[in-house]
Amino acid sequence: MITLIPSREPNAAQKAQIARKYGMFIHFGINTFNNTEWSDGTLPLESYAPDAIDADSWVRHAYEAGMNYVILITKHHDGFCLFDTDTTEYCVNNTKNPTDVVAEVAKACRKYRVKLGLYYSLWDRHEPCYNDDEKYTEYMCSHLNTLLGGKYGEVCELWLDGAWGKDGSTEDRWNLAKIYDLVHTLQPGCVMAVNVTIGDPGAVGNNDYYRPENYKEGMTMRYFPSDFRLWDPHFTGENDPKIYTHNGESYYLPFEATICIRNMDNWFWDDDYTKDPLVGAEFIAEKYRHLIGQENVLVVNVAPDIHGKQEPEDIACLNEAAKLLEIARKAE
């Protein structure tokens, strides 16, 4: 079984991740059409009704802003899948617009030579077998076989979220070892991490102590195996240690900071989206320099609206940051 090898130095996949430096998060899904960040898996399928999905422009905007990869939501906590699947009725197949969003983004990534990363929520508030750990692991693995099995090409990163949904014991109810093995069997160069990576195994408690700005070398990994550290929407401190532990072994883990271009907790577009101020080009440039200087990574979320478009002001902010950083470029 493939697992993370103890090391105090980055492995090849981690080096490639560090070299990517900068990416775009794309939160889009059934929540977009219901003015909510999280939903409970009961929103009606007919509410998901984009009149267009301009995935080409999403990736082009990322490319022109100097970003080297995108991370697309494939399934959020609500369980709604943005890709073709016969494992659940709660997916794009059964909506007014059955476009496979993952396929469209993957196509655009190939066009603009931008790497493809995928977000997948472990927590699922819709799937009936969720509380049967064995059955739900198979359900997730079916999705991961679809997402990583070659249909969408090379995938550079898998961003796993919502693991707190089964916290409460030190037992790995997600079977992360099996998931890690599957991910790296299907996509050997893909890096995988679980959000809120560092902390007490079995509980998200002691959050303040374990926040990224307070990291100390040798802290324990809450979710193992993970190839890098996540904790949105936080930043590392002035000094960022890279060595963390699991069962007495040491592991090198870079950090990927994920933030929103507007309100730091406003990941999905809603009717009030543009009322929130932009974080600003100077802020993005400052955080970019801070993180890349530590051999870490920055990802900025830019949410598409109900028409499948990103806000022009968001893109202007990204482009201004790219000019400040001298990484702007034009698509051919």
Phi/psi for 183 (5° steps) reads -60, -45
| DSSP string over 39-68 | --S-S-GGG---S---HHHHHHHHHHTT--
Structure tokens at 153: 């090409």
pLDDT of the residue at 203: 61
Alpha helices in the chain, H assignment, sequence order:
12-20, 55-64, 101-112, 133-148, 176-186, 207-210, 281-293, 312-325
Q: What is the pLDDT of residues 124-160, one digit of tens each?
A: 999 999 999 999 999 999 999 999 999 999 999 999 9
Q: Which residues contact 138 (CB under 8 A, 6 or more apart)?
A: none
Q: What is the mean pLDDT of residues 268-287?
A: 97
Please state, in angstroms and rounded to a whole number, the distance separating the CA atoms of residues 112 and 108: 6
- C-alpha pair distances (Å), 136 with each of 42, 127, 131, 151, 165: 19, 8, 7, 23, 13
DSSP state letter for 19: H
- Beta-carbon-side half-sphere exposure of residue 83 (alpha carbons within 13 Å): 23
In angstroms, the CA 26 to CA 48 distance is 16
pLDDT at 169 over 70: no
C-alpha separations of 294 from 20, 197, 242, 290 in Å? 13, 18, 10, 7
- Residue range 24-63, pLDDT digits in tens: 999 999 999 999 999 999 999 999 999 999 999 999 999 9
pLDDT tens, residue by residue, 192-250: 999 999 998 766 555 677 899 999 999 999 999 999 999 999 999 999 999 999 999 99
| Structural domains of the chain ordered from first start | 12-325 (3.20.20.80)
Structure pTM? 0.97
